[in-house]
Structure 1
Amino acid sequence: MKAAVLRDPKIGLRVEEIKTPTPKSGEVLVKVAACGMCHSDLHVIHGKIAFPLPCVLGHEVAGEIVALGPDNEYTGLAVGQKVAGAFLMPCGKCEACARGRDDLCGPFFDLNRIQGKLYDGTTRLAGTDGEEIAMYSMGALAEYCVIPSTSVAPVSEKIDLTKGAILGCAALTGYGAVRRGANLQFGETVAVVATGGVGSNIIQISKAFGAAKIIAIDISDEKLEAAKALGATHTVNSLKENVRETVFSMTDGRGVDVAFEALGNPATWKSALDALSDGGRLVAIGLGAGVQEAGVEINRTVRRSQRIIGSYGARTRTDLPAVVEMAAKGFINYKEIVTERFRLEDANEGYQKLAKGEILGRAIVDMSL
């Protein structure tokens, strides 16, 4: 099969012929319809997050199951099903998974995120000469990928399978931030800092959960206009306006109940904290490039009883089906978020545009092109 392989951050992604993988116990083989392009991939491509090389990236995917590994009798999965795959792939057996905290799955972080392997300690990817190739999540920048059965959800005919690729990361992460991280309550006020793929979904999901005001904060007027179309009630360009003064004027001098930070940058952390009310919650979603730190004003945080909550993905086994259903019913307008499509051969070009901030919403690699 063809796959976009990363061997050297100085060179970037190059399409190669590698072996088509085979699913093992509790896994499925998916023919990829499309794969979303995420900032987390960028950090690996640029060498800012350590990961084994060579590797195949791509961690939000939709496609069709073409083969089942053993031990899938009770999963409800079948060959021919259209599915969305989640980037966060719980093993289903560790202590965290046993208590429903898929987002804290130890083997996922220890084996997949550090070693590029699945839960038997081996990768499913190899070159035509047998060379091991690491997989970042399922390694979906390829014509086929192996995914643990815990990490896929069937999608109905109502879902556009190509644009639905973003459900497994951008939408799932947004849902996890709103539902799990913030536990957003009806009528609360929200700020969303950085309105790219994940931020766009947070806006929509916050609206579906009944947020009274949704303030989009970004440095791009074009992205802010797109945010209004998705449900933002107010916008702030943080290059042109003082975030704290503007947000407080929009909220009767209070600030917002919840500020979502969706980029992983010290400047956007500051914007999120500046927007926050007394007793408010900062929900941090964005991953930084390597080891980064953000400043927090200690006395304000303590005296004003503010909380900082990390949110990584969601609880895949329960939340991915919920995200798929929200998309099917129109609560998540994922189609509008996908603004650009690239061929697999042009994936490196797409990530270069993403790095320059030139992608509005989310881009995908479309295997039909």
Structure 2
Amino acid sequence: MAFLFRSWRSFQRLYNLRSSLRSSTRRNLSGVSSKTEDVSGYHLRDVPSFMRAVVFWEPKKPLSIEEFHLPRPKAGEVLIKTKACGVCHSDLHVMNGDLPFASPCVVGHEITGEVVDHGAHTDVAVVKRFPVGSRVVGAFIMPCGNCGFCVKGQEDLCEAFFAYNRAKGTLYDGETRLFLRSNGKPVYMYSMGGLAEYCVVPANALATLPNSLPYTESAILGCAVFTAYGAMKHAADVRAGDAIAVIGIGGIGSSCLQIARAFGASEIIAVDVQDDKLENAKKLGATHTINAMKEDVVDKIKEITGGMGVDIAVEALGKPKTFLQTTQSVKDGGKAVMIGLAPSGAVGEVDITRLVRRQIKIIGSYGARARQDLPKLVKLAETGIFSLEDAISRKCKFDEAAAAYDDLNNGKIVGRAVVEIM
């Protein structure tokens, strides 16, 4: 009995010590404690022990490139050598202070890369599906696979993703994988923190990238195309012959045009305020274009559709004015799909009586479903149904990432820019 008692007391001390260490790490992330973490012991053969990543420090401040310890994956996670990362407006919303997010953080959330390592205790099926050296693409919504929504197949509503990554800038144990090389302090993660030479991604957010598809252009599959597909497939449920209007022809809006064409839409109307974007939209499937600075958007859409309005209108800007235009542009029984992020607290107006009497449907859509949809998007690109080359308007080097975001913020990027990190 005395031996058992001593063993139990030893177990309790070990358990309490482990709990204390975990609690210390969580306090560190929440900002209560400034204690650093020693992650310098993680080494892989033929892989450097540190890397570079692009860091956002606070709104309106310039991005900087900092050195980090090599991020260590945990169970169910994969370490990726990042090859390319897209430049997205969602990052800008954080940088401009429109949407609150933990900082400092590494931005970038649509990536391609090569598998380098798997976290300890990762399921053998994951290791077989994504062996070391395999080519992958990552989705920005990284489903946990276990919550109520994921189990029902609604991975775009994953509880863990919104509770941890979007709310706290961590992965699903409540901890980041990013620590500065200079002092060991933690830095948060916007999705996987893709503007880095290496990143950790939950395996559920990955799909195999075939050799036939290039790393650089394929990066946009993880957000621009992923978001467009989720809107057109799940929210809008586009059918062949539908008339569709897309308001806001940036990276995601232009992807909506290609997806609408792939689904067999009869009329595809592109709306923007820049003629160069509208000209490019014609290559992506637009049958009509409207410059909102020169024409009344709602009147012109109804003129094109014989006075009826479109079956589906997509808002890809996140502005109250375009929200209203979207709801007014749909026909009776039509769907207004909102995918543009707006500053916190922004409110859109709607004609309530028309909404009720004419059965107008207003639907929000944040993205697609990684395990179901990402392999399908890879196939669309591989067969050429979705043209990655036409969607990309600029490629830049890692050191040029900050300038690319500045140009995006100033409307100088027509389609999608991609940072090459190889």
TM-score (norm 2): 0.86
What is the distance in 1 between the residues matched to 2:369 and 2:217? Answer: 22
1:153 aligns with 2:153: no
1:73 aligns with 2:124: yes
The one of the two structures with greater contact order (alpha-carbon pairs below 8 A, sep at least 6) is 1
Residue 90 of structure 2 corresponds to which residue in structure 1?
Answer: 40
State the SS of the aligned residue for 1:280.
strand
| Equivalent pair of 2:396/2:418 in contact (CA under 8 Å) | yes
Residue 113 of structure 1 corresponds to which residue in structure 2?
Answer: 166
What is the distance in 2 between the residues matched to 1:237 and 1:93? Answer: 45
| Equivalent pair of 2:78/2:202 in contact (CA under 8 Å) | yes
Q: Over aligned residue pairs, what C-alpha RMSD do you find?
A: 1.0
Pairing partner for 2:156 from 91, 103, 110: 103
Pairing partner for 1:144 from 198, 206, 210: 198
| Equivalent pair of 2:394/2:416 in contact (CA under 8 Å) | yes
Within 5 A, what are the aligned runs for 1:84-233?
84-128=137-181, 129-233=183-287
How far residue 357 of structure 1 moved from its aligned partner, in angstroms, is 1.2
Q: Which runs of 5+ in 1 are unaligned?
A: none
| Equivalent pair of 2:395/2:418 in contact (CA under 8 Å) | yes
State the SS of the aligned residue for 1:264.
coil
Residue 404 of structure 2 corresponds to which residue in structure 1?
Answer: 350
Within 5 A, what are the aligned runs for 1:13-32?
13-32=63-82
| Equivalent pair of 1:15/1:344 in contact (CA under 8 Å) | no
What is the distance in 2 between the residues matched to 1:330 and 1:168? Answer: 17
Post-superposition Cα deviations, 1:94-126, rounded to whole Å, max 9, x if no partner, equal 111111110111110010001111011110001
Residue 42 of structure 2 corresponds to which residue in structure 1?
Answer: none
How far residue 48 of structure 1 moved from its aligned partner, in angstroms, is 1.8
State the SS of the aligned residue for 1:59.
coil
How far residue 263 of structure 1 moved from its aligned partner, in angstroms, is 1.3
| Equivalent pair of 1:14/1:345 in contact (CA under 8 Å) | no
How far residue 130 of structure 1 moved from its aligned partner, in angstroms, is 1.3
Query: What number of residue pairs does the alignment pair up?
Result: 368
Pairing partner for 2:420 from 342, 366, 369: 366
Pairing partner for 1:50 from 74, 84, 100: 100
State the SS of the aligned residue for 1:336.
helix
What is the distance in 2 between the residues matched to 1:219 and 1:302? Answer: 31
Of residues 335-344 and 350-359 in structure 1, the stretch that sits farther from structure 2 once superposed is: 335-344
1:277 aligns with 2:331: yes
How far residue 336 of structure 1 moved from its aligned partner, in angstroms, is 1.5
What is the distance in 2 between the residues matched to 1:10 and 1:263? Answer: 20
Letter in 2 for 1:71: T
TM-score (norm 1): 0.98
Residue 19 of structure 2 corresponds to which residue in structure 1?
Answer: none
State the SS of the aligned residue for 2:71.
coil
State the SS of the aligned residue for 1:268.
helix
Letter in 2 for 1:65: V
How far residue 154 of structure 1 moved from its aligned partner, in angstroms, is 0.3
How far residue 346 of structure 1 moved from its aligned partner, in angstroms, is 2.0
Letter in 2 for 1:57: V
Pairing partner for 1:83 from 122, 136, 140: 136
Identity %: 47
Pairing partner for 1:312 from 359, 363, 366: 366
Letter in 2 for 1:288: A
Letter in 2 for 1:108: F
| Equivalent pair of 1:205/1:332 in contact (CA under 8 Å) | yes
| Equivalent pair of 1:195/1:223 in contact (CA under 8 Å) | yes
How far residue 300 of structure 1 moved from its aligned partner, in angstroms, is 1.7
State the SS of the aligned residue for 1:223.
helix
Work out which of the two has the higher radius of gyration on C-alpha atoms and give 1 or 2. Answer: 2
Within 5 A, what are the aligned runs for 1:241-252?
241-252=295-306
How far residue 269 of structure 1 moved from its aligned partner, in angstroms, is 1.2
How far residue 229 of structure 1 moved from its aligned partner, in angstroms, is 0.6
How far residue 316 of structure 1 moved from its aligned partner, in angstroms, is 1.1
How far residue 270 of structure 1 moved from its aligned partner, in angstroms, is 2.3
What is the distance in 1 between the residues matched to 2:56 and 2:307? Answer: 49
What is the distance in 2 between the residues matched to 1:171 and 1:219? Answer: 22
Letter in 1 for 2:190: Y
Post-superposition Cα deviations, 1:120-174, rounded to whole Å, max 9, x if no partner, equal 1110001112101100100001100000000000011121111110000000111
How far residue 362 of structure 1 moved from its aligned partner, in angstroms, is 0.5
How far residue 309 of structure 1 moved from its aligned partner, in angstroms, is 0.5
Post-superposition Cα deviations, 1:197-228, rounded to whole Å, max 9, x if no partner, equal 11111111111111011000111111011111
What is the distance in 2 between the residues matched to 1:42 and 1:12? Answer: 12
1:64 aligns with 2:114: yes
Of residues 287-296 and 100-109 in structure 1, the stretch that sits farther from structure 2 once superposed is: 287-296
What is the distance in 2 between the residues matched to 1:202 and 1:118? Answer: 29
Post-superposition Cα deviations, 1:72-113, rounded to whole Å, max 9, x if no partner, equal 311311111111100000000111111111011111001000
State the SS of the aligned residue for 1:16.
strand
What is the distance in 1 between the residues matched to 2:58 and 2:233? Answer: 38
State the SS of the aligned residue for 1:191.
strand
| Equivalent pair of 2:137/2:209 in contact (CA under 8 Å) | yes
What is the distance in 2 between the residues matched to 1:196 and 1:68? Answer: 35
Q: Which runs of 5+ in 2 are unaligned?
A: 1-50
| Equivalent pair of 1:27/1:72 in contact (CA under 8 Å) | no
Which structure has greater helix proportion? Answer: 2
Residue 10 of structure 1 corresponds to which residue in structure 2?
Answer: 60
